[in-house]
């Protein structure tokens, strides 16, 4: 049951072969028995109440394609009735009085919430080791990180603790954990998924998206996730009137003539041989499907790391100033005055990585440094976006390459080296800075040992990047690859 896709589960529910309540109980049992630390909050009563409501919709004949299908929510989306911590002590025990737009849309579709899943604190990290509630273990190898910040979402799908999960991507936080855990994830064009009720990290970069087993599953989830929201000032729409986009519409289009751009910067020094072998094999599979490989250059790729780590911390320092112990969240137990309360509350509530980024962000926004750092970073951000547009204008239809330079590393191996963690995002940051859609699909395995072949037990992800609003095209390309390969069907030992 738990190895079935969303589409397969929907068919079982609609044919009355299983009820929403039975399905929810099945997954709750798996979650309770799991040792991955993927879930932060599970409430059987709340879940089963939603499942009963879904069963009532089936009885009334009002069920939709996702009704009764279980889903896990990244603990960055506020959820009425459930705790929402953002992986931080600062929000320990916080229960929101309202739902995020993403959660509300899935509730309206009749999906059943299984619980809230773990993440790097305030979505800041690449390994899910920055959570105040402990690291998530990669289901493929308990000694490995699951990636971050959406490590709980990716691990939950890989371990088949849920068939669907919400996630967010600021600099790669959907794509990288999806790659490390051997599952499928997509970051839509910036502005396509409402950020209302999504606890902000870097507002010009944050974007929600789904993680699931297959591209087809992600298409079904995007059908509900995407849509204009007047409560989000950055929300975009390309639909006319009340017509909703159907992201499954192009899944079965052939790939003959597809021009795939292969950036030289993605295959140079620093790329592990096991990752390169798996990615190049995937590219050859696309050639067999009728695509053409085109050599391209994205010369500003190396600048994406310093650019991102100026812009994102600057926005974080502003967004996280609201966590002061006055209105909600953690407050220091003892303090002399208001200033002392602020200082002690934030010192106690924030973890080391969050403090590091707040301090960096505050520094680059200070008078005398704003023009030298923040303004210059924004200018480079435009140049990075221009690189992509030059490639899409006359060279290629999509761009492909690795998601990360290596497979998942060992838990604890980079804990004291934040720069090494930052460098792991070299292939995903530029896409986020440009606001482009990108996704990760499983394409092989490696063992993390230099010089090894792609035959280990740690997954490798292939990154597919498209132009603005090209989500349907990316999903079509990914779906066609998944019809010709079985990497997405493989599961960790014991699952």
Question: Is there a single domain that holds both residue 153 and residue 279?
Answer: no
Residue that terminates a domain, selected from 240, 273, 290: 240
Q: What is the pLDDT at residue 327?
A: 87
Question: Is there a single domain that holds both residue 42 and residue 174?
Answer: yes
What DSSP string runs through 248-261?
TTTTT---TT-EEE
In 3-state terms, the chain is what percent helix, strand and coil (to 5)? 40, 15, 45
DSSP annotation of 245: P
Q: Residue 450 pLDDT more than 70?
A: no
Catalytically annotated residue among 173, 317, 432, 440: 173
Whether 154 and 178 have beta carbons less than 8 Å apart is answered as yes
Question: Is there a single domain that holds both residue 294 and residue 160?
Answer: no
Average the pLDDT over 277-282 and give the result. 98
Taking Cα atoms as reference points, which of 116, 163, 66 lies closest to residue 488? 163
Asked if residue 472 belongs to a domain, the reply is: yes
Taking Cα atoms as reference points, which of 355, 413, 448 lies closest to residue 129? 413
For residue 453, the domain's CATH number is 3.90.1300.10
Phi, psi of 477 (to 5 degrees): -60, -45
Active site residue 96: no
Question: Is there a single domain that holds both residue 184 and residue 295?
Answer: no
Question: Is there a single domain that holds both residue 302 and residue 186?
Answer: no
Phi, psi of 113 (to 5 degrees): -75, 125
Residue that terminates a domain, selected from 207, 240, 273: 240
Asked if residue 211 belongs to a domain, the reply is: yes
**Model pLDDT for residues 105-121, shown as the tens digit of each residue:** 999 999 999 999 999 99
DSSP annotation of 264: G
Question: Is there a single domain that holds both residue 177 and residue 93?
Answer: yes
Question: Is there a single domain that holds both residue 171 and residue 295?
Answer: no
Asked if residue 314 belongs to a domain, the reply is: no
Q: What is the pLDDT at residue 453?
A: 52
Higher per-residue pLDDT: 329 or 155: 155
Active site residue 173: yes
Asked if residue 66 belongs to a domain, the reply is: yes
Asked if residue 344 belongs to a domain, the reply is: no
**Model pLDDT for residues 212-263, shown as the tens digit of each residue:** 999 999 999 999 999 999 999 999 988 766 678 899 999 999 999 999 999 9
Catalytically annotated residue among 10, 74, 88, 126: 74
Catalytically annotated residue among 10, 149, 150, 440: 149
pTM given for the model: 0.96
For 277, the domain range is 259-307+370-489
Average the pLDDT over 360-375 and give the result. 93
Higher per-residue pLDDT: 449 or 178: 178
**Model pLDDT for residues 264-277, shown as the tens digit of each residue:** 999 998 999 999 99
Asked if residue 318 belongs to a domain, the reply is: no
Active site residue 126: no
**Model pLDDT for residues 38-96, shown as the tens digit of each residue:** 999 999 999 999 999 999 999 999 999 999 999 999 999 999 999 999 999 999 999 99
Question: Is there a single domain that holds both residue 274 and residue 154?
Answer: no
Question: Is there a single domain that holds both residue 164 and residue 266?
Answer: no
What DSSP string runs through 383-447?
HHHHHHHHHHHHT-SEEEEESSSSSPPBTTTTTT-HHHHHHTTTTTHHHHHHT--EEEEEEEEE-
Question: Is there a single domain that holds both residue 207 and residue 263?
Answer: no
Q: Which residue has the tokens 């993390």?
A: 448
Asked if residue 86 belongs to a domain, the reply is: yes
Q: In whole angstroms, give the CA distance from residue 35 to residue 13.
A: 28
Q: In whole angstroms, give the CA distance from residue 268 to residue 270.
A: 6
Question: Is there a single domain that holds both residue 217 and residue 292?
Answer: no
Q: What is the pLDDT at residue 242?
A: 65
- Residue 212's beta-bridge partner residues? 164, 184
Count of domains in the chain?
2
Asked if residue 218 belongs to a domain, the reply is: yes
Question: Is there a single domain that holds both residue 19 and residue 130?
Answer: yes
């Amino acid at each position: 049951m738990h190895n079935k896709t969303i589409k397969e589960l929907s068919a079982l529910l609609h044919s009355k072969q299983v009820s929403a309540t039975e399905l929810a109980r099945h997954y709750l049992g798996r979650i309770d028995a799991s040792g991955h630390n993927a879930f932060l909050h599970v409430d059987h009563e709340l879940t089963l109440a939603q499942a009963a409501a879904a069963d009532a919709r089936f009885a009334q004949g009002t069920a939709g394609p996702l009704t009764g299908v279980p889903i896990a929510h990244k603990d960055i989306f506020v959820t009425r009735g459930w705790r929402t911590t953002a992986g931080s002590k600062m929000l320990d025990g916080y229960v929101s009085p309202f739902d995020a737009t993403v959660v509300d849309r899935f509730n309206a579709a009749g999906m059943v919430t299984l619980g809230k899943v773990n993440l790097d604190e305030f979505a800041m990290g690449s390994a899910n080791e920055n959570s105040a509630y402990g690291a998530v273990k990669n289901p493929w190898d308990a000694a490995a990180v699951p990636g971050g910040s959406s490590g709980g979402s990716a691990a939950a799908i890989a371990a088949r603790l849920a068939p669907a999960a919400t996630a967010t991507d600021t600099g790669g936080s959907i794509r990288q954990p999806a790659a490390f855990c051997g599952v499928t994830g997509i970051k839509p064009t910036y502005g396509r998924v409402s950020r209302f009720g999504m606890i902000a990290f870097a507002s010009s970069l944050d974007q929600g998206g789904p993680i699931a087993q297959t591209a087809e599953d992600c298409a079904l989830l995007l059908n509900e996730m995407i849509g204009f929201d007047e409560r989000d000032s950055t929300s975009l729409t390309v639909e006319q009137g009340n017509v909703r986009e159907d992201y499954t519409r192009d899944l079965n289009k052939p790939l003959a003539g597809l021009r795939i751009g292969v950036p030289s910067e993605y295959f140079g020094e620093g790329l592990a041989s096991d990752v390169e072998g798996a990615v190049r094999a995937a590219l050859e599979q696309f050639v067999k499907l009728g695509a053409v490989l085109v050599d391209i250059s994205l010369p500003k790729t190396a600048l994406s790391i310093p650019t991102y780590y100026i812009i994102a911390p600057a926005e974080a320092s502003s967004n996280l100033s609201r966590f002061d112990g006055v209105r909600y969240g953690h407050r220091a137990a003892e303090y002399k005055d208001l200033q002392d309360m602020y200082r002690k509350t934030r010192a106690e509530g924030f973890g080391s990585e969050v403090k590091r980024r707040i301090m960096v962000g505050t520094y680059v926004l200070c008078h005398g440094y704003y023009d030298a750092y923040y303004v210059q970073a924004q200018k480079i951000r435009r140049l990075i976006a221009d690189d992509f547009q030059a490639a899409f204008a006359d060279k290629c239809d999509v761009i492909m390459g690795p998601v990360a330079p290596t497979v998942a590393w060992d838990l604890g191996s980079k804990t004291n080296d934040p720069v090494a963690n930052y460098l792991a995002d070299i292939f995903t940051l530029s896409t986020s800075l440009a606001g482009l859609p990108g996704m990760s699909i499983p394409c092989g395995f490696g063992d993390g040992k230099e010089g090894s072949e792609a035959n280990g037990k740690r997954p490798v992800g292939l990154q597919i990047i498209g132009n603005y609003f090209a989500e349907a095209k990316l999903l079509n390309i990914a779906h066609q690859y998944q019809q010709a390969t079985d990497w997405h069907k493989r599961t960790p030992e014991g699952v």
